[in-house]
C-alpha cells in the first residue's frame, strides 16, 4: 500500500512559544489518503493509528533530548495546535 507524502510537519508547543521541559515534539507525516476510496481511506487511517501507537510505545526517539512522537495524518484532516512548522515549506 503506497503512501503519498505531501509534507512533514512539526506540531505542538515546541513550534510555538508555549513549550516547557516536558513538551514533546510531534512529527506529522502528511499523506494523501484520498487516492484510495472512502472505505480504503478509513482502513488506512485505522492502520496508521494502530502502527503509530505501537511504534511510539516500542521506540524511543529523541532530538536534542526532546521526546519525538511520529504520526501519519491525512492531509484533509485538521490539527488544532498552537504551532505548526512545515519542514518541506520551511515555514
User: 12-47: per-residue pLDDT in tens?
Assistant: 887 777 878 888 888 999 988 877 777 888 888 888
Q: Whole-number mean pLDDT of the chain?
A: 84
The Cα 89–Cα 7 span in angstroms is 8
CB of 15 closer than 8 Å to CB of 26:
no
| Residue 15 confidence (pLDDT) | 76
* Cell numbers given for 28: 506529522
pLDDT band at 2 (very low <50, low <70, confident <90, very high): low
| Residue 84 confidence (pLDDT) | 86
Amino acid at each position: 500500500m503506497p503512501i503519498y507524502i505531501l509534507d512533514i510537519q512539526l506540531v505542538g508547543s515546541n513550534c510555538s512559544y508555549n513549550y516547557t521541559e516536558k513538551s514533546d515534539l510531534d512529527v506529522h507525516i502528511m499523506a494523501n489518503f484520498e487516492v484510495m476510496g472512502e472505505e480504503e481511506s478509513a482502513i488506512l487511517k485505522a492502520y496508521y493509528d494502530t502502527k503509530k501507537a505501537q511504534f511510539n510505545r516500542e521506540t524511543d526517539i529523541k532530538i536534542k533530548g526532546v521526546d519525538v512522537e511520529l504520526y501519519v495524518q491525512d492531509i484533509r484532516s485538521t490539527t488544532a495546535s498552537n504551532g505548526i512548522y512545515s519542514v518541506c515549506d520551511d515555514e
